Amino acid sequence: MSGREKKEHQMTTEPLDEILIEQLIADRIDARRAKDFAKADSIRKTLDAMGLIIIDGKDEATGEFWTTWDVKPKDETP
């Protein structure tokens, strides 16, 4: 699956809006760079409510922060 194809949301049958997700992540990265941690946390909560896991990291060579996402796995409990 390419990065631009829609991922199926595991909690519903509707596809995720990857363009919206990528924009929210870009906004969150900008907020973190500006040290607006309240805004960054708010965006993270929005993404979490969408059923996503946010994964942050740092490129060891450049020192740049990066963020990616994945869909939360289905809850296995009945």
CB-CB contact of 21 with 47 (8 Å): yes
| Cα–Cα dist 77/65, whole Å | 35
Q: Could you give phi then psi for residue 8, rounded to 5 degrees?
A: -80, 130
pLDDT of residue 64: 87
pLDDT of residue 9: 40
Strand pairing partners for 71?
A: 52
CB-CB contact of 52 with 21 (8 Å): yes
What pLDDT, in 10s, does the model give residues 56-70?
A: 998 999 988 889 999
